[in-house]
Structure 1
């Protein structure tokens, strides 16, 4: 029974949960807290450098093609989602930073790996999924912080360490920790791209290790400030329910939108999976830059719960699409034989 339950969780999610537990029991304090925070900053820089180096120039240019599909994905990711996030943040019972986290979740770009993987399983347009997911992440580097400043300035979330708006220090952090490493990695791709391709396993460890370090420092700082005295088990259940409802609404919207826009089956699958995803890999370091350390842990709770829910739901949907495609192919082969 326990093994079957754990099978719904990918190993990285279990590591994230373990990191949150460790930060809750043994948060970094004093000098060690400063060391961990500095190490997390280095991890953020390295993470976005690698993201920039992994994104090919061809993927950027391809993002301009099949523009109706890519525009639909971007509109869902950065317009429909944020509008829903603002509505969900007003649900009674949400703690301030957690309500900010619900909005922040909806402002993030789409995932890359899982969007492409689920599209491939469902027999959708994989090339278009690569372009849409990559394009979403590319513009999200700039658009997500801008949307945070516009939508969350009056929420009292302390963006950039201030009570409202986004501070000059936060803009500087965004540029130096996110944009500059990303651009530098992309410009150095001709020299480092081959190394990255040959050492995907090692770089995957660095990639996920950076996220775990940021999560540890974020939750550790939040625990020191009394996170678990403000967020109860009932709050976690409420957040999980809201994340599930949010995902359900967006999945229904993308399914209907794909049909209304007249997309092919393969492109409808791309819109369904790329449009409904939110990136944990981008969300964790961005939260570390945009929010005060003591609030990052609470802000990330919706992001982490939504990430796991979307993986489980989309895995089931992708498998059903694949089964339907197999049945259709079997009927076609039988008809051809007759």
Structure 2
């Protein structure tokens, strides 16, 4: 019966999507949930900063092979798959939906969910922070260039660049740095309350899902397209995501990355940012086309969170089993490492 047991985090995600569908945040509640989500993400990065030693941060930042592959996955592999997908034309959907698929493929990686899932799965969090943040920062400049290159759109996105960079710095890097500076005083408390970091990871993911899906529901996601089109977008999103995950997994093992780095590559190299994509679409495309163009991105965003959350839970459980086996085989060594 264990095969049919629903993963707890998956169940929470389904409940969150249903809640956003029937009770989306509206009016003043939108600002409240935006503030709450920002606060949860800031707390998450503060605690990760306090948790990680300087040696681990330096090692994560200097892991150039991992960062190079994640950048290639985000800004080379994804766009190529997007172009092939549009050329192949396998789904009976409109040209605007295909434009939306191509657009999502050239966006930078999402930051908070990639790092939260990496942490949940037991990956290299220091490398994930560096890689995902770099992807988001570079994407502010690279993605508009790719839009102009592969989609023949030539609007000026510079006006949004500084604002996006400022938001990334303020929401992610500043709390991380403050947490690391505070490590001297709170490192002991963080070590004793590591479970709180895991809860913060899950809370931030659920808040991002609720906020993103609430916005989609309020903007009329269920009225703009029929059920069949929606299903085709889900199928297309799953297809693109599984191809990227498979290639990243193959590359991680082919290039000899360890388990923690493999997890980081999977979760940082397979995400696309809704937070960056929607504001950028408002700058790059005519206002009348923005809604339908970002629809595949909104759905892909939910699909990637759900699939990768299940994958993270599997990695977490396998890691716990591996640690238990190592402790049974070598209890004295494991105890000395604690």
RMSD: 3.8
Matches within 5 A, 1:106-121: 112-113=118-119, 116=122
Determine whether 1:60 maps to 2:18. no
Equivalent residue number for residue 127 of structure 2: 135
Following superposition, the deviation at residue 85 of structure 1 comes to 0.9
Q: Which of the numbers 45, 60, 66 marks the counterpart of 1:73?
A: 66
Equivalent residue number for residue 232 of structure 1: 230
CA gap of 1:315–1:210, structure 2 versus 1, over 3 A, is closer
Matches within 5 A, 1:86-101: 86-90=79-83, 91-92=85-86, 94=97, 96=99, 99-101=102-104
Contact 1:279 1:307 in 2 (8 A): no
Could you tell me the TM-score, scaled by structure 1's length?
0.68
Equivalent residue number for residue 285 of structure 2: none
Number of paired residues?
A: 285
* 1:86-108 CA distance string (max 9 Å, x none): 12233235555554444447576
Contact 1:27 1:220 in 2 (8 A): yes
Contact 1:98 1:301 in 2 (8 A): no
Following superposition, the deviation at residue 217 of structure 1 comes to 1.2
Determine whether 1:184 maps to 2:178. yes
Following superposition, the deviation at residue 242 of structure 1 comes to 1.5
Contact 1:81 1:250 in 2 (8 A): no
Q: Which of the numbers 11, 21, 33 marks the counterpart of 1:14?
A: 11
What stretches of structure 1 of length at least 5 have no aligned partner? 117-128, 157-161, 259-266, 330-338
Q: Matched residues in 2 for 1:113 and 1:247: separation?
A: 18
Q: Matched residues in 2 for 1:279 and 1:244: separation?
A: 12
Which is further off, 134-143 or 147-156? 147-156
Following superposition, the deviation at residue 221 of structure 1 comes to 0.7
Q: Which of the numbers 242, 252, 255 marks the counterpart of 1:254?
A: 252
Q: Matched residues in 2 for 1:52 and 1:277: separation?
A: 19
Following superposition, the deviation at residue 41 of structure 1 comes to 2.1
Could you tell me the TM-score, scaled by structure 2's length?
0.68
Contact 1:101 1:301 in 2 (8 A): no
Determine whether 1:4 maps to 2:3. yes
Q: Matched residues in 2 for 1:26 and 1:305: separation?
A: 20
Equivalent residue number for residue 266 of structure 2: 276
Q: Matched residues in 2 for 1:306 and 1:172: separation?
A: 30
Following superposition, the deviation at residue 17 of structure 1 comes to 2.4
SS, match of residue 232 in structure 1 = helix
Equivalent residue number for residue 31 of structure 2: 34
Equivalent residue number for residue 192 of structure 2: 198
What stretches of structure 2 of length at least 5 have no aligned partner? 87-92, 149-154, 283-290, 330-338
Following superposition, the deviation at residue 201 of structure 1 comes to 2.4
CA gap of 1:167–1:14, structure 2 versus 1, over 3 A, is same
Q: Matched residues in 2 for 1:219 and 1:47: separation?
A: 21
Q: Matched residues in 2 for 1:307 and 1:20: separation?
A: 16
SS, match of residue 29 in structure 1 = coil
Q: Matched residues in 2 for 1:257 and 1:202: separation?
A: 34
Aligned structure 1 segments of 4 or more residues deviating by more than 6 angstroms: 312-316
Following superposition, the deviation at residue 287 of structure 1 comes to 4.3
Contact 1:101 1:298 in 2 (8 A): no
Q: Matched residues in 2 for 1:37 and 1:268: separation?
A: 36
Contact 1:50 1:182 in 2 (8 A): yes
Determine whether 1:175 maps to 2:169. yes
Following superposition, the deviation at residue 192 of structure 1 comes to 2.1
Equivalent residue number for residue 125 of structure 1: none
